[in-house]
Amino acid sequence: MHRYKFVLYRPLQFLPVLFGISVITFILVRLIPGDPARVLLGTRATPEAIARIRAQYGLDESMLAQYFYFLRNLADGEMGRSILYKIDVLKLIATRIEPTLTLVLCSVVLSVLIAVPVAAIAARNQGRLADQVIRIVSTFGIGFPPFWLGLMLIILFSVELAILPVSGYGNTLSEKLAHLVLPSLTVSLSLSTVLARSLRAAMVEGLRSDVATAARARGMPESIVFWRHVLPNSLVPTVNLLAVNIGWLIGGTVVVETVFALPGMGQLLVRAIFSRDYMVVQGVAMVFACATVLINFLADIVTVALDPRVKL
């Protein structure tokens, strides 16, 4: 199985990438105007109190020294303390990661479940009514911003029909899932349109390909031609598109979590930025970056599994 050997050595390439990301987030966070100590203590804080807080969090030292502490803490498995929440950033993230992770996971699964059949229907009825309808609807899907879509879904399902909760997150599994239905739907309505379009284009090409002709010439019925030959060949380019979009989606949870008041990482990030909670912003950015790198790595593995020609 030497085609999968890259799984062992590819992570080595992550190290320089993550190092670069840490430098950039570190600098960018500190370029945000404002002083965390002042935000923390309020407008009437004495200069002495501010200085004390700044010293406590190492904010009075040079950028280079601060970055050095940041790296040293990282090596110890810590990301510093949150100024606002007064606990270790990593522990803080741990309490917030679940809703975000579940949201992304549900959205991706739902998107694929929507995109594959929709693309299949459109491709197999190319140019006919079903294809036209799908194209128009998906154009709307791409056009509507997710926050607006989310609000509309809330109005329809939670306010009018009252079958799903408006916002927040529950305690039991069923409560949690019920709270995730609308956010996931919001995300996947936009994501699935992008996927479906790319998938449809690949399928239309696949249906005209020599591979399909050869299968038909062997007497294969159209359903076998489609599901066994066209679909597997169409998935390859779509997997990479999906990976890129999941990366974007992780950042996009900020909006959706805000609309649905989900206590996830996105919400944490927004609050941390407003209160200049450097350590938290840094930590969340690092986690998002790691997740994006990891997802592209997973996409590479899936691509290798789907296409025997690919060597990485």
Partner 1 sequence: MIAALLKVTDLTVVHDGDGGERTLLDAVSLDLAPGEVLGLVGESGSGKSLLCRSLVRLLPSSRLRISGGSITLSGRELTTAPEAEMLAVRGGEIGMIFQNPSSHLDPVMRIGDQITEGIRFHQRLDAKAARAAAVDILAQVGFPDPARQYDSYPHEFSGGMRQRAMIGAALSSNPRILIADEPTTALDVTIQAQILRLLMDIRARRGLSVILVTHDLGIVAQVCDRIAVMWQGRLVEIGEKRGLLAAPAHAYTRSLIASHPSLPEEDMPAKAEKLRAPGAVPVVDIEKLHVRFATGGLFRRGAVDAVNGVTLRVMPGETVGIVGESGSGKSTLARAVLGLTPVSSGTIRFDGADIASGRAVLGMLRRQTAMVFQDPYNALNPHLTVGKMLAEVLRVQGKIETAQIPARCGELLDLVGLGRAFLDRKPRSMSGGQCQRAGIARALAVDPKLIIADECVAALDVTIQAQIVELFRELVERMSLTLLFIAHDLAIVRNLCQRVVVMHRGVVVEEGRSEEVFSRPKHAYTAALIAAVPHIDPDKPLLAPSKMATPQADGVAN
Per this entry, what is the length of the chain?
312
3-state helix, strand, coil in the chain (%, to 5): 80, 0, 20
The residues near 153 (Cβ < 8 Å, ≥ 6 apart) are: 182, 185, 186
With b for 16 or more beta-carbon neighbours within 10 A and e for fewer, the 193-227 pattern comes to bbbbbbbbbbbbebbeeeebeebeeeeeeeeebbe
Please report how close the Cβ of residue 161 comes to partner 1 at its closest, in angstroms.
Answer: 44
163 or 312: CB nearest partner 1: 312
The single residue among 128, 140, 228, 298 that binds partner 1, judged by CB under 8 A, is: 228
Q: Does 309 bind partner 1 (CB under 8 A)?
A: yes
Please report how close the Cβ of residue 244 comes to partner 1 at its closest, in angstroms.
Answer: 21
What region does 199 belong to: left with phi over 0, alpha with psi -120 to 50, or beta? alpha
Please report how close the Cβ of residue 213 comes to partner 1 at its closest, in angstroms.
Answer: 7
Q: Does 9 bind partner 1 (CB under 8 A)?
A: yes
236-275: contacts with partner 1 (CB under 8 A): 236
Burial level of 119, CB count in 10 A (0-12/13-18/19+)? buried
The single residue among 215, 262, 272, 289 that binds partner 1, judged by CB under 8 A, is: 215
Give the integer Cα–Cα distance in Å for 284 and 291. 10
Please report how close the Cβ of residue 235 comes to partner 1 at its closest, in angstroms.
Answer: 9
Residue carrying the six token digits 């080595």? 12
Piece of the chain touching partner 1 by CB under 8 A; list 27-35, 64-72, 142-150, 210-218: 210-218
Q: Does 308 bind partner 1 (CB under 8 A)?
A: yes
Q: Does 233 bind partner 1 (CB under 8 A)?
A: yes
Burial level of 174, CB count in 10 A (0-12/13-18/19+)? exposed
207 or 285: CB nearest partner 1: 207
Give the integer Cα–Cα distance in Å for 286 and 220. 50
Q: Does 307 bind partner 1 (CB under 8 A)?
A: yes
End-to-end Cα separation, the chain, in angstroms? 12
Q: Does 205 bind partner 1 (CB under 8 A)?
A: no
Residue carrying the six token digits 């996409």? 299
Piece of the chain touching partner 1 by CB under 8 A; list 136-144, 146-154, 183-191, 212-220: 212-220
Q: Does 213 bind partner 1 (CB under 8 A)?
A: yes
The single residue among 232, 248, 274, 298 that binds partner 1, judged by CB under 8 A, is: 232
Helix or strand or coil: residue 81?
A: strand
Please report how close the Cβ of residue 236 comes to partner 1 at its closest, in angstroms.
Answer: 8
Contact 277, 32 (CB under 8 A): no
Size of the residue set binding partner 1 (CB under 8 A): 27
Q: Does 302 bind partner 1 (CB under 8 A)?
A: no
The single residue among 211, 241, 261, 273 that binds partner 1, judged by CB under 8 A, is: 211
Give the integer Cα–Cα distance in Å for 147 and 80. 33
Contact 234, 206 (CB under 8 A): yes
Piece of the chain touching partner 1 by CB under 8 A; list 19-27, 93-101, 137-145, 209-217: 209-217
Please report how close the Cβ of residue 117 comes to partner 1 at its closest, in angstroms.
Answer: 21
Q: Does 301 bind partner 1 (CB under 8 A)?
A: no
Contacting residues toward partner 1, per CB under 8 A: 5-6, 9, 209-211, 213-221, 224, 228-229, 232-233, 236, 306-309, 311-312
